[in-house]
Amino acid sequence: MYFLYRPTFCVAANVFKDARGDQCDVCTRTLDAIELINPRCLVNKTHKVVGKISTHMYVSLDKLQDWTQEWIKRSYAAGKWSLNSVINTEGEILDARLKGGLRPSPVTRDLTWGVPVPLLDGQDPYGMKGKVLCKAYRL
């Protein structure tokens, strides 16, 4: 499910405070569009936000969870990762996204502008025609 355009605010599923459409600014939890409660447009308060089912491609970040955590710990131990909000002096992972478990992240969007998803030999077996690649995806 997606919303017609991105500037939406809503009540986060687990915080009951206003949150941006893709991340709760209170707990930093990444939200999925289907988890949004009472979505509303920031630009036009009278606009009714409409959702629809849509197919997208995802990177399975959840399958990289263990590898990512071990890589961060090894890099820190080797002196290649500085102390920050991800890891502390004891080598403990602090990042809320890593502690809460990485989730699959979309790499396509339903937008009219952007880099189109390339079709292989003109075939569209996964329903990606008309989709564009995300500018960037996060952990």
Taking the C-alpha atoms of residue 121 and residue 87, their distance in angstroms, rounded to an integer, is: 45
Give the DSSP letter of residue 11.
Answer: E
Taking CA atoms, 98 is separated from 63, 78, 90, 108, in Å, by: 12, 20, 16, 23
pLDDT tens figures, 72-82: 888 888 888 77
CA dihedral 97, 100, 104, 107 (to 10 degrees): -20
More confident residue, 40 or 125: 125
Q: Cα-Cα-Cα-Cα dihedral of 83, 85, 91, 94, to 10°?
A: 180
Average pLDDT of the residues in 56-83: 88
Distance CA(103)–CA(114), nearest Å, equals 24
Q: Quick one: which H or E segment has residue 58?
A: strand 58-59
Tens of pLDDT, residues 82-110: 777 677 777 788 777 788 888 888 899 88
Residue 44 has pLDDT above 90, yes or no: no
How high is the pLDDT of residue 6? 44
Whole-angstrom distance, CA of residue 37 vs CA of residue 43:
18
Residues of the chain with CATH 2.170.220.10: 54-139
3 has which bridge partners?
A: 51
Q: What is this structure's pTM?
A: 0.61
CATH number for the region 54-139 comes to: 2.170.220.10
For residue 23, what is the DSSP state? Answer: B
What lies within 8 Å, CB to CB, of 101 at 6+ separation is 62, 65
